[in-house]
Protein backbone atom coordinates (compact mmCIF):
# COMPACT_ATOMS: atom_id res chain seq x y z
CA UNK A 1 0.00 0.00 0.00
CA UNK A 2 1.20 3.47 -0.85
CA UNK A 3 0.79 6.17 1.75
CA UNK A 4 -0.03 9.54 0.20
CA UNK A 5 0.60 12.52 2.41
CA UNK A 6 -0.95 15.92 1.79
CA UNK A 7 0.75 19.23 2.28
CA UNK A 8 3.05 21.53 0.30
CA UNK A 9 4.74 20.11 -2.77
CA UNK A 10 7.96 21.97 -1.97
CA UNK A 11 10.46 19.89 0.00
CA UNK A 12 11.80 23.02 1.70
CA UNK A 13 8.29 24.10 2.68
CA UNK A 14 7.53 20.64 4.05
CA UNK A 15 10.68 20.51 6.18
CA UNK A 16 10.11 24.05 7.44
CA UNK A 17 6.48 23.28 8.22
CA UNK A 18 7.29 20.06 10.08
CA UNK A 19 10.16 21.70 11.98
CA UNK A 20 7.95 24.64 12.93
CA UNK A 21 5.08 22.41 14.05
CA UNK A 22 7.41 20.15 16.04
CA UNK A 23 9.19 23.10 17.68
CA UNK A 24 5.89 24.78 18.56
CA UNK A 25 4.46 21.53 19.96
CA UNK A 26 7.65 20.83 21.92
CA UNK A 27 7.70 24.33 23.39
CA UNK A 28 4.03 24.11 24.39
CA UNK A 29 4.56 20.74 26.07
CA UNK A 30 7.74 21.94 27.79
CA UNK A 31 6.03 25.09 29.06
CA UNK A 32 3.10 23.07 30.44
CA UNK A 33 5.40 20.52 32.11
CA UNK A 34 7.65 23.18 33.66
CA UNK A 35 4.65 25.21 34.82
CA UNK A 36 3.10 22.16 36.46
CA UNK A 37 6.38 21.19 38.11
CA UNK A 38 6.76 24.72 39.43
CA UNK A 39 3.18 24.66 40.70
CA UNK A 40 3.84 21.43 42.58
CA UNK A 41 7.04 22.87 44.03
CA UNK A 42 5.33 26.13 45.04
CA UNK A 43 2.43 24.30 46.69
CA UNK A 44 4.84 21.99 48.53
CA UNK A 45 6.88 24.99 49.74
CA UNK A 46 3.67 26.71 50.85
CA UNK A 47 2.66 23.61 52.78
CA UNK A 48 6.08 23.41 54.43
CA UNK A 49 5.83 27.10 55.39
CA UNK A 50 2.43 26.54 57.04
CA UNK A 51 3.80 23.49 58.87
CA UNK A 52 6.75 25.50 60.20
CA UNK A 53 4.47 28.31 61.34
CA UNK A 54 2.13 25.78 62.94
CA UNK A 55 4.91 24.38 65.12
CA UNK A 56 6.05 27.91 65.97
CA UNK A 57 2.59 28.56 67.32
CA UNK A 58 2.65 25.27 69.25
CA UNK A 59 5.99 26.15 70.84
CA UNK A 60 4.68 29.59 71.84
CA UNK A 61 1.61 28.40 73.82
CA UNK A 62 1.45 27.10 77.36
CA UNK A 63 -1.18 26.62 80.11
CA UNK A 64 -0.95 29.36 82.73
CA UNK A 65 -1.62 29.26 86.48
CA UNK A 66 -5.18 30.28 85.83
CA UNK A 67 -5.67 27.15 83.68
CA UNK A 68 -5.98 29.32 80.59
CA UNK A 69 -4.01 29.23 77.38
CA UNK A 70 -1.29 31.82 77.35
CA UNK A 71 1.40 32.93 74.92
CA UNK A 72 1.81 35.30 72.01
CA UNK A 73 3.22 33.63 68.87
CA UNK A 74 5.69 35.81 66.95
CA UNK A 75 5.77 34.41 63.40
CA UNK A 76 7.69 37.32 61.86
CA UNK A 77 4.93 38.06 59.34
CA UNK A 78 2.83 41.24 59.56
CA UNK A 79 0.00 39.59 57.69
CA UNK A 80 -0.95 37.70 60.88
CA UNK A 81 -1.68 41.06 62.52
CA UNK A 82 -3.45 42.74 59.59
CA UNK A 83 -7.18 42.10 59.19
CA UNK A 84 -8.75 40.12 56.37
CA UNK A 85 -5.43 38.90 54.95
CA UNK A 86 -6.22 35.19 55.06
CA UNK A 87 -3.18 34.55 57.30
CA UNK A 88 -4.42 33.37 60.71
CA UNK A 89 -3.49 31.19 63.64
CA UNK A 90 -6.16 29.66 65.88
CA UNK A 91 -5.90 27.64 69.12
CA UNK A 92 -8.99 25.83 70.43
CA UNK A 93 -9.15 23.72 73.63
CA UNK A 94 -10.38 20.16 73.23
CA UNK A 95 -12.49 17.90 75.41
CA UNK A 96 -12.95 18.90 79.06
CA UNK A 97 -10.30 21.59 78.80
CA UNK A 98 -12.52 24.65 79.32
CA UNK A 99 -10.10 27.43 78.37
CA UNK A 100 -10.72 30.40 76.15
CA UNK A 101 -9.58 29.95 72.51
CA UNK A 102 -6.84 32.17 71.16
CA UNK A 103 -6.47 33.57 67.62
CA UNK A 104 -4.44 36.09 65.67
CA UNK A 105 -5.63 39.69 65.46
CA UNK A 106 -6.00 39.29 61.67
CA UNK A 107 -8.94 36.90 62.21
CA UNK A 108 -10.93 39.29 64.38
CA UNK A 109 -14.13 37.76 65.76
CA UNK A 110 -14.68 35.40 62.84
CA UNK A 111 -13.63 31.79 62.57
CA UNK A 112 -12.82 29.11 59.99
CA UNK A 113 -14.99 26.01 59.83
CA UNK A 114 -13.35 22.68 60.65
CA UNK A 115 -14.12 19.64 58.43
CA UNK A 116 -14.72 16.28 60.01
CA UNK A 117 -11.89 13.82 60.42
CA UNK A 118 -13.71 11.43 58.09
CA UNK A 119 -13.70 14.08 55.35
CA UNK A 120 -10.06 15.09 55.87
CA UNK A 121 -8.14 12.52 57.94
CA UNK A 122 -4.80 13.13 59.69
CA UNK A 123 -1.63 11.83 58.09
CA UNK A 124 0.98 9.66 59.80
CA UNK A 125 2.50 12.78 61.41
CA UNK A 126 -0.93 13.61 62.84
CA UNK A 127 -1.30 16.61 60.56
CA UNK A 128 -3.88 17.48 58.02
CA UNK A 129 -4.16 20.17 55.38
CA UNK A 130 -7.38 21.32 53.78
CA UNK A 131 -8.63 24.28 51.75
CA UNK A 132 -11.25 26.64 53.15
CA UNK A 133 -12.88 30.02 52.57
CA UNK A 134 -12.71 32.54 55.39
CA UNK A 135 -15.40 35.03 56.34
CA UNK A 136 -13.89 37.61 53.97
CA UNK A 137 -13.99 35.38 50.89
CA UNK A 138 -10.30 34.53 50.82
CA UNK A 139 -9.33 31.05 49.68
CA UNK A 140 -6.94 29.72 52.28
CA UNK A 141 -5.05 26.52 53.02
CA UNK A 142 -5.24 25.38 56.64
CA UNK A 143 -2.65 23.26 58.43
CA UNK A 144 -3.95 21.60 61.57
CA UNK A 145 -2.79 19.31 64.37
CA UNK A 146 -3.85 18.40 67.93
CA UNK A 147 -1.37 18.53 70.78
CA UNK A 148 -1.48 17.38 74.46
CA UNK A 149 -0.19 20.35 76.48
CA UNK A 150 0.53 18.85 79.94
CA UNK A 151 0.63 15.71 81.98
CA UNK A 152 -3.00 15.99 82.89
CA UNK A 153 -4.00 15.24 79.31
CA UNK A 154 -5.31 18.68 78.49
CA UNK A 155 -5.11 19.16 74.67
CA UNK A 156 -5.79 21.82 72.08
CA UNK A 157 -6.30 22.07 68.33
CA UNK A 158 -3.76 24.27 66.57
CA UNK A 159 -4.48 25.74 63.14
CA UNK A 160 -2.51 28.05 60.88
CA UNK A 161 -3.84 29.26 57.52
CA UNK A 162 -2.24 31.00 54.58
CA UNK A 163 -3.83 32.83 51.65
CA UNK A 164 -3.64 30.70 48.45
CA UNK A 165 -3.63 33.83 46.28
CA UNK A 166 0.03 34.22 47.20
CA UNK A 167 0.80 30.87 45.60
CA UNK A 168 -1.31 31.62 42.52
CA UNK A 169 0.30 35.02 42.02
CA UNK A 170 3.73 33.48 42.34
CA UNK A 171 2.85 30.74 39.84
CA UNK A 172 1.34 33.22 37.38
CA UNK A 173 4.39 35.48 37.60
CA UNK A 174 6.66 32.53 36.96
CA UNK A 175 4.47 31.26 34.13
CA UNK A 176 4.48 34.64 32.40
CA UNK A 177 8.25 34.84 32.62
CA UNK A 178 8.51 31.24 31.42
CA UNK A 179 6.22 31.81 28.43
CA UNK A 180 8.09 34.97 27.43
CA UNK A 181 11.47 33.25 27.71
CA UNK A 182 10.31 30.16 25.80
CA UNK A 183 8.59 32.34 23.19
CA UNK A 184 11.78 34.32 22.56
CA UNK A 185 13.79 31.10 22.54
CA UNK A 186 11.26 29.44 20.23
CA UNK A 187 11.29 32.29 17.72
CA UNK A 188 15.07 32.31 17.77
CA UNK A 189 15.14 28.55 17.30
CA UNK A 190 12.71 28.76 14.39
CA UNK A 191 14.85 31.38 12.69
CA UNK A 192 18.02 29.37 13.23
CA UNK A 193 16.32 26.12 12.15
CA UNK A 194 14.87 27.84 9.08
CA UNK A 195 18.27 29.19 8.07
CA UNK A 196 19.88 25.79 8.70
CA UNK A 197 17.21 24.00 6.65
CA UNK A 198 17.45 26.49 3.79
CA UNK A 199 21.22 26.19 3.82
CA UNK A 200 21.08 22.41 4.03
CA UNK A 201 18.55 22.08 1.19
CA UNK A 202 20.24 24.67 -1.02
CA UNK A 203 21.99 21.97 -3.10
CA UNK A 204 18.60 20.45 -3.94
CA UNK A 205 17.42 23.84 -5.16
CA UNK A 206 20.59 24.09 -7.23
CA UNK A 207 19.86 20.67 -8.74
CA UNK A 208 16.31 21.81 -9.55
CA UNK A 209 17.58 24.92 -11.32
CA UNK A 210 20.11 22.86 -13.26
CA UNK A 211 17.34 20.47 -14.33
CA UNK A 212 15.17 23.42 -15.41
CA UNK A 213 18.03 24.62 -17.61
CA UNK A 214 18.11 21.19 -19.24
CA UNK A 215 14.33 21.32 -19.79
CA UNK A 216 14.59 24.80 -21.34
CA UNK A 217 17.40 23.65 -23.60
CA UNK A 218 19.93 26.01 -22.01
CA UNK A 219 22.15 23.11 -20.92
CA UNK A 220 22.71 19.54 -22.05
CA UNK A 221 23.44 18.07 -18.62
CA UNK A 222 23.21 18.87 -14.91
CA UNK A 223 26.05 21.21 -14.12
CA UNK A 224 27.22 22.43 -10.74
CA UNK A 225 28.86 21.38 -7.50
CA UNK A 226 26.66 18.97 -5.54
CA UNK A 227 27.26 17.35 -2.13
CA UNK A 228 28.10 13.67 -2.03
CA UNK A 229 24.52 12.75 -1.05
CA UNK A 230 23.16 14.29 -4.28
CA UNK A 231 26.07 13.62 -6.62
CA UNK A 232 25.00 9.99 -7.41
CA UNK A 233 21.54 11.25 -8.36
CA UNK A 234 23.01 14.00 -10.56
CA UNK A 235 25.32 11.48 -12.23
CA UNK A 236 22.41 9.10 -12.88
CA UNK A 237 20.30 11.91 -14.37
CA UNK A 238 23.21 12.97 -16.61
CA UNK A 239 23.66 9.36 -17.69
CA UNK A 240 19.93 9.10 -18.42
CA UNK A 241 20.00 12.32 -20.47
CA UNK A 242 23.02 11.09 -22.42
CA UNK A 243 21.39 7.70 -23.01
CA UNK A 244 18.19 9.39 -24.14
CA UNK A 245 20.17 11.61 -26.50
CA UNK A 246 21.98 8.61 -28.02
CA UNK A 247 18.67 6.78 -28.49
CA UNK A 248 17.14 9.79 -30.23
CA UNK A 249 20.17 10.28 -32.46
CA UNK A 250 20.22 6.58 -33.33
CA UNK A 251 16.51 6.68 -34.14
CA UNK A 252 16.97 9.76 -36.30
CA UNK A 253 19.87 8.14 -38.12
CA UNK A 254 17.84 5.00 -38.76
CA UNK A 255 14.90 7.10 -39.95
CA UNK A 256 17.16 9.02 -42.32
CA UNK A 257 18.78 5.84 -43.63
CA UNK A 258 15.41 4.24 -44.24
CA UNK A 259 14.05 7.34 -45.93
CA UNK A 260 17.11 7.56 -48.15
CA UNK A 261 16.98 3.87 -49.07
CA UNK A 262 13.29 4.04 -50.03
CA UNK A 263 13.31 7.44 -51.67
CA UNK A 264 15.15 6.34 -54.80
CA UNK A 265 13.06 3.18 -55.56
CA UNK A 266 9.82 5.11 -55.12
CA UNK A 267 11.09 7.93 -57.36
CA UNK A 268 12.02 5.36 -60.03
CA UNK A 269 8.55 3.83 -59.87
CA UNK A 270 6.93 7.27 -60.22
CA UNK A 271 9.15 8.14 -63.21
CA UNK A 272 8.49 4.81 -64.91
CA UNK A 273 4.75 5.25 -64.42
CA UNK A 274 4.87 8.32 -66.65
CA UNK A 275 6.36 6.31 -69.53
CA UNK A 276 3.68 3.63 -69.73
CA UNK A 277 0.06 3.67 -70.74
CA UNK A 278 -2.36 5.83 -68.77
CA UNK A 279 -4.37 3.16 -66.95
CA UNK A 280 -1.37 1.13 -65.76
CA UNK A 281 0.42 4.43 -65.15
CA UNK A 282 -2.34 5.67 -62.83
CA UNK A 283 -2.31 2.36 -61.01
CA UNK A 284 1.47 2.35 -60.53
CA UNK A 285 1.49 6.05 -59.58
CA UNK A 286 -1.31 5.62 -57.03
CA UNK A 287 0.43 2.62 -55.49
CA UNK A 288 3.77 4.42 -55.39
CA UNK A 289 2.18 7.47 -53.82
CA UNK A 290 0.49 5.21 -51.26
CA UNK A 291 3.86 3.60 -50.53
CA UNK A 292 5.44 7.03 -50.17
CA UNK A 293 2.67 8.14 -47.82
CA UNK A 294 2.91 4.97 -45.73
CA UNK A 295 6.71 5.22 -45.52
CA UNK A 296 6.50 8.85 -44.45
CA UNK A 297 3.79 8.03 -41.92
CA UNK A 298 5.74 5.22 -40.28
CA UNK A 299 8.97 7.22 -40.36
CA UNK A 300 7.14 10.01 -38.53
CA UNK A 301 5.80 7.53 -36.01
CA UNK A 302 9.27 6.13 -35.34
CA UNK A 303 10.73 9.60 -34.95
CA UNK A 304 7.91 10.79 -32.66
CA UNK A 305 8.09 7.61 -30.54
CA UNK A 306 11.83 8.13 -30.09
CA UNK A 307 11.41 11.79 -29.17
CA UNK A 308 8.11 11.74 -27.25
CA UNK A 309 9.52 11.03 -23.79
CA UNK A 310 12.61 13.15 -24.26
CA UNK A 311 13.25 16.01 -21.88
CA UNK A 312 14.50 18.07 -24.81
CA UNK A 313 11.28 17.95 -26.91
CA UNK A 314 9.75 21.43 -26.59
CA UNK A 315 8.32 24.04 -28.93
CA UNK A 316 7.04 27.48 -28.02
CA UNK A 317 3.64 27.86 -29.66
CA UNK A 318 3.44 31.55 -30.51
CA UNK A 319 6.50 31.90 -32.80
CA UNK A 320 5.54 28.78 -34.78
CA UNK A 321 1.94 29.93 -35.26
CA UNK A 322 3.01 33.44 -36.22
CA UNK A 323 5.34 32.01 -38.87
CA UNK A 324 2.62 29.73 -40.26
CA UNK A 325 0.09 32.58 -40.29
CA UNK A 326 2.53 34.81 -42.22
CA UNK A 327 2.92 32.09 -44.84
CA UNK A 328 -0.83 31.55 -45.10
CA UNK A 329 -1.48 35.28 -45.47
CA UNK A 330 1.02 35.42 -48.28
CA UNK A 331 -0.58 32.44 -50.02
CA UNK A 332 -4.14 33.63 -49.37
CA UNK A 333 -4.12 37.44 -49.57
CA UNK A 334 -7.91 37.55 -49.81
CA UNK A 335 -8.41 35.74 -46.49
CA UNK A 336 -7.99 36.99 -42.93
CA UNK A 337 -6.12 34.99 -40.28
CA UNK A 338 -6.71 35.81 -36.60
CA UNK A 339 -4.24 34.45 -34.02
CA UNK A 340 -4.71 34.35 -30.22
CA UNK A 341 -2.24 32.71 -27.81
CA UNK A 342 -2.93 33.17 -24.09
CA UNK A 343 -1.02 33.32 -21.89
CA UNK A 344 2.19 34.19 -23.75
CA UNK A 345 4.93 31.58 -23.49
CA UNK A 346 2.68 28.52 -23.96
CA UNK A 347 5.02 25.63 -24.77
CA UNK A 348 4.32 22.21 -26.25
CA UNK A 349 6.22 19.02 -25.40
CA UNK A 350 6.57 18.29 -29.13
CA UNK A 351 9.10 18.61 -31.93
CA UNK A 352 8.74 21.84 -33.89
CA UNK A 353 8.32 20.08 -37.24
CA UNK A 354 5.44 18.02 -35.83
CA UNK A 355 3.72 21.17 -34.60
CA UNK A 356 4.22 22.83 -37.96
CA UNK A 357 2.92 19.83 -39.89
CA UNK A 358 -0.11 19.41 -37.62
CA UNK A 359 -1.22 23.05 -37.54
CA UNK A 360 -0.11 23.63 -41.12
CA UNK A 361 -2.45 20.93 -42.42
CA UNK A 362 -5.36 22.36 -40.44
CA UNK A 363 -4.62 25.90 -41.69
CA UNK A 364 -4.46 24.71 -45.30
CA UNK A 365 -7.83 22.98 -45.00
CA UNK A 366 -9.39 25.99 -43.25
CA UNK A 367 -7.99 28.44 -45.83
CA UNK A 368 -9.24 26.22 -48.67
CA UNK A 369 -12.86 26.13 -47.48
CA UNK A 370 -13.36 29.39 -45.53
CA UNK A 371 -15.38 32.33 -46.82
CA UNK A 372 -13.57 35.28 -45.26
CA UNK A 373 -11.16 34.18 -42.56
CA UNK A 374 -9.63 31.65 -40.17
CA UNK A 375 -9.33 31.90 -36.36
CA UNK A 376 -6.50 30.18 -34.49
CA UNK A 377 -6.39 29.97 -30.67
CA UNK A 378 -4.05 28.28 -28.17
CA UNK A 379 -4.51 28.12 -24.41
CA UNK A 380 -3.52 25.75 -21.56
CA UNK A 381 -6.17 23.38 -20.25
CA UNK A 382 -6.55 20.65 -17.64
CA UNK A 383 -6.83 17.87 -20.21
CA UNK A 384 -7.71 14.24 -19.48
CA UNK A 385 -7.24 12.93 -15.93
CA UNK A 386 -5.20 9.73 -15.82
CA UNK A 387 -3.54 7.68 -13.12
CA UNK A 388 -0.09 8.37 -14.54
CA UNK A 389 2.53 10.56 -13.02
CA UNK A 390 1.32 14.09 -13.72
CA UNK A 391 4.69 15.83 -13.39
CA UNK A 392 4.62 16.67 -17.15
CA UNK A 393 0.93 16.04 -17.78
CA UNK A 394 -0.03 19.55 -18.77
CA UNK A 395 -2.07 20.12 -21.90
CA UNK A 396 -2.62 22.82 -24.48
CA UNK A 397 -5.89 23.24 -26.37
CA UNK A 398 -5.40 24.53 -29.90
CA UNK A 399 -8.29 25.28 -32.25
CA UNK A 400 -8.48 26.20 -35.93
CA UNK A 401 -11.91 27.47 -37.00
CA UNK A 402 -13.21 28.84 -40.29
CA UNK A 403 -16.44 30.42 -41.48
CA UNK A 404 -16.96 28.03 -44.39
CA UNK A 405 -19.80 25.56 -44.98
CA UNK A 406 -18.58 23.14 -42.30
CA UNK A 407 -19.21 19.39 -42.17
CA UNK A 408 -22.01 17.16 -40.94
CA UNK A 409 -21.17 14.40 -38.39
CA UNK A 410 -21.15 11.65 -41.05
CA UNK A 411 -18.95 13.81 -43.28
CA UNK A 412 -16.53 14.31 -40.39
CA UNK A 413 -16.15 10.54 -39.99
CA UNK A 414 -15.39 10.23 -43.72
CA UNK A 415 -12.96 13.15 -43.70
CA UNK A 416 -10.80 11.49 -41.04
CA UNK A 417 -10.23 8.42 -43.19
CA UNK A 418 -6.89 8.34 -45.00
CA UNK A 419 -7.11 9.45 -48.63
CA UNK A 420 -10.79 10.45 -48.54
CA UNK A 421 -11.70 13.79 -50.12
CA UNK A 422 -15.21 15.17 -49.70
CA UNK A 423 -14.76 17.93 -52.28
CA UNK A 424 -12.96 16.78 -55.44
CA UNK A 425 -13.12 20.32 -56.84
CA UNK A 426 -10.52 21.48 -54.33
CA UNK A 427 -6.83 20.50 -54.63
CA UNK A 428 -5.37 17.99 -52.18
CA UNK A 429 -4.62 14.32 -51.59
CA UNK A 430 -7.03 13.67 -48.72
CA UNK A 431 -4.22 12.90 -46.28
CA UNK A 432 -4.06 16.12 -44.21
CA UNK A 433 -6.56 15.33 -41.44
CA UNK A 434 -5.38 11.73 -41.25
CA UNK A 435 -1.79 12.88 -40.76
CA UNK A 436 -2.91 15.35 -38.11
CA UNK A 437 -4.77 12.62 -36.25
CA UNK A 438 -1.82 10.22 -36.44
CA UNK A 439 0.71 12.76 -35.17
CA UNK A 440 -1.65 13.86 -32.40
CA UNK A 441 -2.26 10.26 -31.40
CA UNK A 442 1.46 9.51 -31.24
CA UNK A 443 1.79 12.32 -28.69
CA UNK A 444 -1.18 10.85 -26.76
CA UNK A 445 -3.28 13.87 -27.66
CA UNK A 446 -6.68 14.11 -29.35
CA UNK A 447 -8.29 15.64 -32.45
CA UNK A 448 -11.96 16.61 -32.52
CA UNK A 449 -13.87 18.07 -35.45
CA UNK A 450 -17.12 19.95 -34.77
CA UNK A 451 -19.17 22.79 -36.23
CA UNK A 452 -17.88 26.09 -34.89
CA UNK A 453 -19.76 29.16 -33.73
CA UNK A 454 -19.13 30.83 -37.12
CA UNK A 455 -20.82 28.00 -38.98
CA UNK A 456 -17.65 26.45 -40.38
CA UNK A 457 -15.47 23.56 -39.29
CA UNK A 458 -13.75 23.76 -35.90
CA UNK A 459 -10.70 21.50 -35.51
CA UNK A 460 -9.75 21.23 -31.84
CA UNK A 461 -6.44 19.69 -30.80
CA UNK A 462 -5.41 18.56 -27.32
CA UNK A 463 -1.59 18.43 -27.25
CA UNK A 464 0.91 17.79 -24.42
CA UNK A 465 2.36 20.97 -22.98
CA UNK A 466 4.96 22.06 -20.47
CA UNK A 467 4.51 24.42 -17.54
CA UNK A 468 6.62 27.55 -17.33
CA UNK A 469 8.80 25.89 -14.71
CA UNK A 470 9.43 22.92 -16.99
CA UNK A 471 9.60 24.98 -20.16
**Class of the CATH domain delimited by 315-466:** alpha beta
CA atoms of 247 and 240, how far apart (whole Å) = 10
Instruction: Report which DSSP code applies to 450.
Output: E
Res 470 pLDDT > 70: no
Share of the chain above pLDDT 90, in %: 33
Dihedral angle sign, alpha carbons of residues 101, 105, 106, 107: positive
SS3 call for 321: helix
Dihedral angle sign, alpha carbons of residues 69, 71, 76, 78: positive
Instruction: Report which DSSP code applies to 100.
Output: P
Of 60-64, 161-165, 459-463, 465-469, which range is least confident?
A: 465-469
Of 181-185, 231-235, 400-404, 415-419, which range is least confident?
A: 415-419
Tell me the average pLDDT across 98-113. Answer: 88
**pLDDT at residue number 299:** 63
CA 146-150-151 angle, to 5 degrees, is 120
Res 1 pLDDT > 50: no
Residue, of 1 and 177, whose pLDDT is higher = 177
Tell me the average pLDDT across 12-26. Answer: 85
Tell me the average pLDDT across 228-244. Answer: 82
**pLDDT at residue number 2:** 41
Tell me the average pLDDT across 252-277. Answer: 68
Task: Kindly list the domain boundaries of the chain, sorted by start residue.
Answer: 8-213, 231-307, 315-466
Share of the chain above pLDDT 70, in %: 79
Residue, of 307 and 245, whose pLDDT is higher = 245
pTM: 0.51
CA 138-143-146 angle, to 5 degrees, is 135
**pLDDT at residue number 74:** 82
Architecture field, domain 8-213: 2-Layer Sandwich (3.30)
Amino acid sequence: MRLRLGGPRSLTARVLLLATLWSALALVVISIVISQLYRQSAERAFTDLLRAQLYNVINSITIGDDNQLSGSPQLGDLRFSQPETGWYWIIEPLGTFAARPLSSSSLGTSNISVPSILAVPFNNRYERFYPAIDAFGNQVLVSETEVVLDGEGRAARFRVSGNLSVVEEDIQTFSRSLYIALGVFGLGSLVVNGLAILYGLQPLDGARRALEKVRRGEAERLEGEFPREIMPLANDINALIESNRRIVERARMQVGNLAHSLKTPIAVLLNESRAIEKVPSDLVRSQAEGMQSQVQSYLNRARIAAQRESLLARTEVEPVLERLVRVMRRLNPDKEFHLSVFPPGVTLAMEQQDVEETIGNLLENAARFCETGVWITATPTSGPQTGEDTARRHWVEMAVEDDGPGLEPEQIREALKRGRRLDESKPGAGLGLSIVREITGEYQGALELTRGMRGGLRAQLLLPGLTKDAA
